[in-house]
Structure 1
Amino acid sequence: MKREIKVYSEIGNLKTVLLHRPGAEIENLIPEHLSRLLFDDIPFLKVARTEHDNFAKVLSDNGVEVLYLENLAAQAIKDKQIRDAFLDEVIIESEVDSKDIAKSLKDYLFSLPEKEMVDKIIAGIRKKEIGLSEENDDYPFIMEPMPNLYFTRDPFASIGKGITLNSMRNHIRHRETIFGKYIFKYHPEFKDSNIPLWYNRDEEFSIEGGDELVFSHEVIAIGHSERTSVEAIKKAAKTIFEAGESFKTVLMFDIPKSRAFMHLDTVFTMIDYDKFTVHEGIEGNLKVSALSYDYKNKDLIIEEQEDSLERILSKYLKREITLIRCGGGDRVIGRREQWNDGSNTLAIAPGKVITYERNYITNEILDKHNVNVISIPSGELSRGRGGPRCMSQPIWREKLIY
């Protein structure tokens, strides 16, 4: 079977999606090191897994093929030489200074079956597992866990027929993108598909998938956020334009550079042809740069503008737009539900979305706007500060009919 990438919207019928089922990395979070690992709390793994399995079942029950990153990665490194290169890369990026310790790590990992090896790399490796003492060290890991990986949206992003293999803003997440690199380069179902890279993980400037939204076959939106830089957006846009894709405009949204506005998809998501969920903090006048391409001079054209989100979206999507406020815009409800990703929805078809059930006020409002809401339990998943869109990476969506 040969797989390709095909994502030309946020709302087309979702056919194939990539997830990561939370694993032991969640239980390797330590309270005094939470901020280092970009967490505010420690989810209860047993319940988080049950919630995540339910999320996957909801997707499957709605006709979506669910693939798991950890399985694809294990299948991609079955060849001994590929596995050897993969381990070298993982260990180098884990910043193991000692050659002897690096060798011990590699020998330990190489002795494991591929899937167990991938799971162990994601979970993190304690010093005692390779015979080192932990007694006089506050931090027991020689290879750090990757607890953010269940947010598969960020390490790479599907755009059109290609991907951005992302350069992550925080060093702690940079190793996550190695899995994407090996999956698309070596997995038997992807390696012959010639999937183009719009951006590569070794680039200097950061970009993350939560900031990348595909509005239509002509319009992409990318947030200039705390985690995505202007330089990365321009480079990715230019590469996409020069490849001759159908996209005509990349809208660069300038949003506040703070954890509360971590990514563009934490403040608004597309749920139908003419509807978006939105956090009130992004309303008012926004600075947006519309990037297009001058094919004669082979350079970007940048048109800067300042207007309301509603008018900007209406202009580029060529239709009247309805913004549905998280929590109805109430100062208390909106902020509470936004904290639990009330604006971060996953559309699995036009006007049909998966949300967290704890954001019940926003869900009720969506229902009143004739949006089909499938709400899922999220008591533990939401502790990672990401919603259904964050937890999913579309591989294939059906083309929209306008």
Structure 2
Amino acid sequence: MMAGPINVKSEIGKLKAVILKRPGKEVENITPDTMPRLLFDDIPYLPIAQKEHDNFATVLKQNGTEVLYLDDLAAESLNDAAVRQEFLQRIIAESGFKKGKTAEVLQNYLNSFDSLTMVQRIMEGVRKEDIQLKSIGLKEASEDGDYPFLMDPMPNLYFTRDPAAAIGEGVSINRMTFAARRRESLFMEYIIAHHERFANQGVHVWRNRNHDTRIEGGDELVLNNHVLAIGVSQRTSAEAIQDIAGNLFKNASGYDTVVAIKIPHNHAMMHLDTVFTMINYDQFTVHPAILTKDGQVDSWILHPAKDGISIEHHRDLKQVLKTVLDLDDLDLIPTGNGDPIVAPREQWNDGSNTLAIAPGEVVTYNRNYVSNEILRKHGLKVHEILSSELSRGRGGPRCMSMPIVREDLKK
């Protein structure tokens, strides 16, 4: 039985509600010079990216999923005037202007819009020319030379998986690694605290964004109603994993096991879900490059203990999963069929980043045709979505979705 606005007790239960962000003008506000700053290595063509994203949303809706949009939810969270002003002050401060004339001008400019337009302008980025800084002689306008933005665009927002993650009947609202993405989780903080769908509905915040240690939702996998897997990755630190594990263990979350899995710290494999996803009770996708030839990878099992947390180190990933999930056997399906050319090519375009919408039923990018055919040969039902432009952001269907309600598994 589902118990509230957040209910995610597996990776594979039938997906009932999800938060997406349709790519907007923030994607067109990437330039070749700002790609590294904004964590992109290419610039998606927005009209096609939007058509592809609409195709993704349509596939989800056709399969019984309620689709909610991040910008709508954020705007609806700001109906109270005091809440709106507090949010504006905080997002402007986190954009580099805690006080002073520039902060005042930005606040006045953004306050001139209705809430939805205001949220979208913040997401798109505010250019200096938008508020005619020269005409009011702001010294701060010249401090970054020719850089056109006062508030940077947030083009990574269409990857809604990362700023926050649903775990059981609560969420982690994440401290993200890079400055380019750090503001993103503020939207989810206000949605959980102030949107009528979530506020005062018993939603637990297992870890908030007010930390120095980093964690991102692409590293958080809810394997069942008491086991969580988290990647030790470029974007998530061991310290953050121990912190959230401790919070889950001591706050009656239902979670008594966290499996930490170490993956290479690089852009191609930035999160655990880019190399490993759960797609059925006993089936997982895995990119062969994270394992040794005999299937070894550093992993740790965390449990509650009298003095805090017990930690056991292991190397055999398959055995670890069989143990924590109480399985006799499981099927690790290699990206690109394990081919030394196909596997890294399709992993680069998120061949491992599958989104399960029901047990044994997944959404994938159509461009990863070798991986998709292997999934079908292993008995999976595969829904392919368009992917030529969305994939340029280095994230797949799982990255682009934040499930908030899944049906509980029957076994």
TM-score for both structures, normalised by structure 1:
0.97
1:292 maps onto 2:303 in alignment: yes
Which residue number corresponds to residue 271 of structure 1? 279
What is the CA-CA distance between 1:374 and the residue it aligns to? 0.2
What is the distance in 2 between the residues matched to 1:3 and 1:399? 12
- Which residues of structure 2 form unaligned runs of 5+? 135-140
- Which residues of structure 1 form unaligned runs of 5+? none
Q: Which stretch shifts more, 128-137 or 385-394? A: 128-137
Which residue number corresponds to residue 325 of structure 2? 317
Which of 323, 344, 350 aligns to 2:353? It is 344
| Aligned-partner residue type, residue 155 of structure 1 | P
Deviations 1:263-297 (A, max 9, x none): 00000101111111110111221111110002xx3
Which residue number corresponds to residue 147 of structure 1? 155
Moved over 6 A (4+): none
Which residue number corresponds to residue 94 of structure 1? 95
SS of 1:35's equivalent in the other structure is coil
1:247 maps onto 2:247 in alignment: no
What is the distance in 1 between the residues matched to 2:374 and 2:287? 14
Which residue number corresponds to residue 400 of structure 1? 409
Which residue number corresponds to residue 338 of structure 2? 329
**Cα RMSD (Å):** 1.4
SS of 2:341's equivalent in the other structure is helix
SS of 1:331's equivalent in the other structure is coil
Query: Is residue 96–residue 142 contact of structure 1 (8 Å, CA) maintained in 2?
Result: no
Question: What pairs up with 1:60-209 in 2 under 5 angstroms?
Answer: 60-96=61-97, 99-133=100-134, 137-209=145-217
What is the distance in 2 between the residues matched to 1:246 and 1:178? 26
| Aligned-partner residue type, residue 61 of structure 1 | Q
Which residue number corresponds to residue 28 of structure 2? 27
| Aligned-partner residue type, residue 304 of structure 2 | Y
Return closer, same or farther for 1:12/1:282 CA change in 2, 3 Å cut-off.
same
What is the distance in 1 between the residues matched to 2:180 and 2:31? 15
Q: State the identity as a percent.
A: 51
Query: Is residue 3–residue 189 contact of structure 1 (8 Å, CA) maintained in 2?
Result: no
What is the CA-CA distance between 1:39 and the residue it aligns to? 0.3
SS of 2:367's equivalent in the other structure is coil
SS of 1:36's equivalent in the other structure is coil
What is the distance in 1 between the residues matched to 2:166 and 2:374? 30
SS of 2:133's equivalent in the other structure is coil
SS of 1:301's equivalent in the other structure is strand
SS of 1:355's equivalent in the other structure is strand
| Aligned-partner residue type, residue 72 of structure 2 | N
Count of residue pairs the alignment pairs up: 398
Question: What pairs up with 1:216-227 in 2 under 5 angstroms?
Answer: 216-227=224-235
Deviations 1:42-95 (A, max 9, x none): 001100000001100100000000011100100000111110000000000000
What is the CA-CA distance between 1:33 and the residue it aligns to? 1.1
TM-score for both structures, normalised by structure 2:
0.95
What is the distance in 2 between the residues matched to 1:392 and 1:138? 35
Which residue number corresponds to residue 50 of structure 2? 49
SS of 2:33's equivalent in the other structure is helix
